[in-house]
Amino acid sequence: MKTSPSTVRIAIASAIIVGTIAWLAWSGYGANKSYYVTIPELGGMGDKAYHSQLRVEGFVQPGSIERNGPHVTFVMNEFESHSPKASSGRRLTVNYKGNEPPPDTFKDNAQAVVEGAYGRDSVFHATALQAKCASKYAPSQPSSQSSGNQSPVAPGSNPAAAN
């Protein structure tokens, strides 16, 4: 059985088209892949940190937010500020220059995830910023006015009626 030249041309053209689509899909997948790392993991990545598109998670250090229009510079800590470990936590300076202003939930102590690239200047250059609400359930401070004979109050009940 002899194949015609037009059948061979169609087979070659089809192979080239399928190969090109496969190559575009593979290269696009690799370029859009971003890793989620913590601040200590970023520090331990070595040279790979400078060549990767990354997502880094941490907590916004209180008092570190400097706004300049839609751009923001701030410091992230690996621990929340009310944690006993906060003073020894690793910190990361972030320079956010995205297309949108930071979300309303971006405040001191908020958990934040930034996406971008880590620069040789030890600053994370972010193009995307997400923030969760700052923790409303921080440890309560002991009250000096409390007496030891108060009974616990059930959720949803009136505390004044319990005493």
Per residue in 57-82, pLDDT (tens digit) is 999 999 999 998 889 999 999 887 77
In a domain, 137, yes or no: no
In a domain, 153, yes or no: no
In a domain, 4, yes or no: no
In a domain, 68, yes or no: yes
At 28, the pLDDT band (50, 70, 90 cuts) reads confident
In a domain, 88, yes or no: yes
Looking only at the bridges linking them, the beta strands covering 54-60 and 35-38 are: parallel
E-strand ranges in 16-61 read: 35-38, 54-60
Amino acid at 26: W
Tell me: pLDDT of 2 over 90: no
Domain of residue 60 covers: 34-131
In a domain, 158, yes or no: no
Could you tell me which residues are beta bridge partners of residue 72? 67, 96
In a domain, 66, yes or no: yes
At 145, the pLDDT band (50, 70, 90 cuts) reads very low
Structurally, the chain folds into a number of domains equal to: 1
Per residue in 75-116, pLDDT (tens digit) is 999 887 777 877 788 899 999 998 888 888 888 888 899 999
Q: CATH number of the domain at 45, please.
A: 2.40.50.140
The rounded distance, in Å, linking the Cα atoms of 163 and 155 is 15
Q: What is the predicted pLDDT for the residue at 154?
A: 46
Tell me: pLDDT of 15 over 90: yes
In a domain, 62, yes or no: yes
